[in-house]
Structure 1
Amino acid sequence: MKKSHPDNVVFSEEKGYNASVLPYATSVGAPVIKTDDVVAWKTRGIHNVNKEFENKFNELKQQYQKLMQEYEWNDIVYNAKFSFEPVIGEIYHLYTGDDGIHFLSLIGPQEWNKEHIATFKLNSDKKWMLLNQKDHFSSY
């Protein structure tokens, strides 16, 4: 079967010669249509997004670790022995007694010879805020 038009001419049986209405180049002399290299763009985008997710994850991980440390200290203080009602804003000291049980006191570590663990301040939310601790108790 012989064609009635050459290969480099846009022709459709339904629409005829319609090269001027097409959204792309249709002749040999038309500008070259290049597709964008989106692989490099995607790779950079994936790298940037993954870096952002990693940074956010590390930030949340640090916040979680800090929260868990606060929880553990509050658990230790609330389970310690004390025979007074702590006052908000006051500073208290946590010690280990001769029997190995933790107790809370108003007396500072320099005022007597007890094993001092940490110093706390009670805030308005009834949360014990760690002010300082002995180095070898950092595993709490």
Structure 2
Amino acid sequence: MNKLEMTEAIMTAKSSMSVTWEEAGSAIGASPVWLASACLGMNSAPAKTAAAIAEYFSLGEEVVAALEAYPTKIWDQAVPTDPLIYRLYEVVGVYGETLKEVIQEKFGDGIMSAIDFSMDVAKEECPKGDRVVLTLNGKFLPYKSW
């Protein structure tokens, strides 16, 4: 089973169970954001976690193996058309240079790791309309001179 087939199996099971990533993550003992990413094929899961995911969704060993497999992190390089994904793309397009300037001013010349990284999605209730709060937390990796 490849990652795409795995994702289809998990998403079908998730839909038939009518559960949220929050509920699944709580039951499995994983961050709902990380869990969604692993189930969508963008992260590998440790053996114990892969088994727990497959058990939770009542799926077999082929799903466990696919969850454990190291992903090739490639995505469509075209501008996304899904409105939510496009807005995130737009945020990076509009504010990417600003974020780079501010991060490098505070930390020096380097990057934010997407390997030593965590992410959270929260809802903030607001009278003018609820707010999406994204927290991206990555280790700073300085460039080295040699």
Give the shorter-chain TM-score range.
under 0.3
TM-score, normalised via structure 2 length: 0.20
Q: Please state which structure has a larger fraction of its residues in helix.
A: 2
Q: Which structure carries more relative contact order (alpha carbon 8 Å, separation 6+)?
A: 2
TM-score, normalised via structure 1 length: 0.21
